[in-house]
């Protein structure tokens, strides 16, 4: 059930919106979670866990620190789904 | 003794979200109209757990109608209520420009984030530790509401949480008085909050037979001083006031509701839940408040009583009032606003402080409802039927709050 990167981006934007209140349109591929979107580490963990459930993947804790941009997360999720 | 009022403390803002309304003003209008906030609960868990009590005084305006969605997600309901009431109080005070290091917050809670604690326990059991919400701890901690208010208003003089069961909200006012009198702050946002309309506290209070079981008639269940009283009605919500040194309030031309003149506190050291029957502990708290407010007992013309509608508690409070005031007891008009609001536990003292302040400011005492047959053991001069007008001139009132654990808190409020 691999999804397109666009579908993953949209799903991820919904999760970010739910957790932080940020507008889904602001969740763009090249945005940094911490620097552009101002998402702290606690919110990031919630986003990761919710993404695992939504996309049916496992994102190891050790991988989370590598997910600096939205694109990093989308790419990782797409790779884990395939 | 030297006066304790060399730095007078005044009330410049009021806020509340309660079973009677989403604001302090709506709540006040409902009190004057004699409305009850008690209603049958329509939550699925009432039937699921076969709760022996099926009604409560639930919040009138859901937080989701007031707060941003993300705030409702990241804050326990107890913090949500506190934030709503604090924002209202702050706006009501004119949102003063103040050095953040001179602004404090003191918000009490009796139980804390019980919804988060038990919801997350369910998550742990059903889905495992990884799914426990990373904000679970800051949401369930009892100082969460004080922290949320401090963060929201930028209060940096200190953020504090008083915890003394049903006296918590009143004790926070005492803490705020001390912060200003000792020079730690010029302005303090103080109050109490509770969000414990949850099956566990309901079951616990019911198990100790503290709750009314008048399931077929919720609006008539909270009946302080009535011979038919059979326990309190659980309520929820928050109330917050803005306190300032008079000097600070006058300098900025603030509207002043009243003077919060003093707090009197004592402990019964008698029993974990039962009040001292002769009322000596509670009477000491009242007399201490009177003295520290530079008043004599005969200056008190009104008491907003703790009066929860339990068979034992209402009598014990009468005994304490009689012990403190003697023959003057008959001269004071007493009201039991829990007959309408229900018992907001850790927010009760703060809400009743707001109501007493409104009573002094508007010179009106809301009537106690459901008092059909006054208990002959409690011959207080209770305001019933129509609300009562208070006289012009300098007047003073007390607000009593008592908590499980033997905590007694009395606040003295003077007209300005």
pLDDT digits (tens, 9 = 90+) for B67-107: 999 999 999 999 999 999 999 999 999 999 999 999 999 99
Do B235 and B305 fall within a single domain?
A: no
CB spacing of B73 vs A42 below 8 angstroms: no
**Res B411: pLDDT:** 98
**Percentage of chain B exceeding pLDDT 90:** 97
Secondary structure of residue B280 in the 3-state scheme: helix
CATH of domain A5-81: 1.10.1200.10
pLDDT for the residue B398? 98
Q: Are residues B42 and B69 in the same domain?
A: yes
**Residue B2 pLDDT greater than 50, yes or no:** no
Please report, for residues B69, B108, B167, B170, B237, the alpha-carbon distance to residue B90 in angstroms, rounded to integers and kept in the order given: 21, 17, 23, 19, 17
Q: Give the residue among A28, A33, A55 at the shortest CA–CA distance from A44.
A: A33
Q: Looking at chain B from residue 117 to 136, which residues have their Cβ under 8 Å from any Cβ of chain A?
A: 130-131, 133-135
pLDDT range class, residue B4, cuts 50, 70, 90: low
Where among B199, B218, B251 does a domain terminate?
A: B251
Interface test with A, best of B68, B69, B70 (most A CBs within 10 A): B70
Q: B18 and B84: one domain?
A: yes
Angle subtended at Cα B52 by Cα B49 and Cα B54, rounded to the nearest 5 degrees: 85
Last residue of a domain, one of B251, B283, B314: B251
Which two tokens mark B357? 């302040």
Give catalytic residue positions of B: 166, 306, 343
Tell me what ipTM this predicted complex has: 0.83
E strands, chain A, where? none
Q: Which domain covers residue B55, as residue numbers?
A: 9-251
User: Do B309 and B208 belong together in one domain?
Assistant: no
Please state the rounded mean pLDDT for residues A9-36.
96
Instruction: Please give the pLDDT value at position A1.
Output: 62
Note whether residue B4 is domain-resident. no
Give the residues across from B232 on adjacent strands.
Answer: B211
Handedness of CA B173, B177, B179, B185 (dihedral sign): positive
Residues paired with residue B104 on neighbouring β-strands, in sequence order: B158, B188
Q: In this predicted structure, what is the pLDDT of residue A82?
A: 84
**B245 shares a domain with B272:** no
Same domain, B221 and B274: no
Contacts of B10 (CB under 8 A, 6+ apart): B243, B244, B245, B246, B249, B254, B256, B257, B258, B259, B260, B416
CA distance B348 to B402: 10
pTM of the predicted model, to two decimals?
0.95
φ, ψ (nearest 5 deg) of residue B120:
-75, -30
Q: What is chain A's length?
A: 82
pLDDT of res. B208: 95
Q: Any idea what the CATH number is for the domain that residue B363 is in?
A: 3.40.47.10
Please write the tens of the pLDDT for every residue from A42-62: 899 999 999 999 999 999 999
Q: Give yes or no for B68 touching A (CB within 8 A).
A: yes
Which residues in chain B have Cβ-Cβ distances shorter than 8 Å to A18?
70, 73
Structure confidence by residue, pLDDT tens digits, B380-405: 999 999 999 999 999 999 999 999 99
Structural domain includes residue B159: yes
How do residues B234-279 score in pLDDT, each as one tens digit?
999 999 999 999 999 999 999 999 999 999 999 999 999 999 889 9
């Amino acid at each position: 059930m691999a999804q397109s990167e666009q579908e993953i981006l949209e799903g991820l934007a919904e999760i970010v919106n739910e957790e932080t209140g940020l507008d889904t349109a602001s969740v763009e591929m090249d945005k940094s979670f911490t620097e552009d979107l101002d998402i702290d580490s606690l919110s990031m963990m919630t986003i990761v866990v919710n993404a695992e459930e939504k996309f049916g993947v496992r994102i190891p804790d050790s991988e989370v620190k590598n997910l600096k941009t939205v694109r990093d997360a989308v790419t990782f999720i797409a790779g884990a789904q395939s | 003794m030297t006066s304790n009022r060399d730095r007078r403390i005044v009330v410049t803002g009021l806020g509340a979200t309660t079973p009677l309304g989403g604001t302090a003003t709506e709540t006040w209008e409902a009190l004057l109209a004699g409305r009850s906030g008690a209603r049958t609960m329509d939550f699925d868990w009432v039937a699921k757990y076969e709760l022996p009590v099926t009604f409560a005084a639930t919040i009138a305006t859901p937080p989701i109608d007031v707060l941003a969605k993300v705030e409702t997600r990241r804050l326990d309901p107890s913090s949500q209520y506190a934030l709503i009431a604090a924002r209202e109080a702050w706006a009501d005070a004119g949102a003063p420009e103040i050095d953040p290091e001179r602004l404090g917050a003191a918000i009490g809670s009796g139980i804390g984030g019980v919804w988060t604690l038990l919801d997350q326990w369910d998550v742990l059991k059903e889905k495992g530790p990884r799914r426990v919400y990373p904000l679970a701890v800051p949401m369930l901690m009892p100082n969460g509401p004080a922290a949320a208010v401090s963060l929201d208003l930028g209060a940096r003089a200190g953020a504090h949480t008083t915890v003394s069961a049903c006296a918590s909200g009143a004790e926070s006012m005492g803490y705020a008085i001390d912060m200003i009198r000792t020079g730690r702050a010029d302005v303090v946002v103080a109050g109490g909050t509770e969000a414990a309309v949850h099956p566990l506290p309901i079951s616990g209070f019911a198990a100790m037979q503290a709750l009314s079981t008048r399931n077929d008639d919720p609006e008539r269940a909270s009946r302080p001083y009535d011979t038919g009283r059979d326990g309190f009605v659980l309520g929820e919500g928050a109330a917050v006031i803005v306190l300032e040194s008079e000097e600070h309030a006058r300098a900025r031309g603030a509207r002043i509701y009243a003077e919060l003149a003093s707090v009197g506190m004592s402990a019964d050291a008698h029993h974990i839940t039962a009040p001292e029957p002769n009322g000596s502990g509670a009477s000491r708290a009242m007399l201490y408040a009177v003295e520290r407010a530079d008043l004599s007992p005969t200056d008190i013309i009104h008491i907003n009583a703790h009066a929860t509608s339990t068979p034992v508690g209402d009598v014990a409070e009468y005994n304490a009032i009689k012990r403190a005031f003697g023959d003057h007891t008959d001269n004071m008009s007493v009201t039991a606003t829990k007959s309408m609001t229900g018992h907001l536990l850790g927010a009760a003292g703060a809400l009743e402080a707001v109501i007493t302040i409104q009573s002094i400011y508007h010179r009106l005492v809301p009537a106690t409802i459901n008092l059909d047959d006054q208990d002959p053991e409690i011959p207080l001069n209770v305001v019933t039927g129509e609300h009562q007008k208070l006289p012009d001139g300098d007047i003073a009132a007390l607000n009593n709050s008592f908590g499980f654990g033997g905590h007694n808190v009395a606040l003295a409020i003077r007209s300005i």
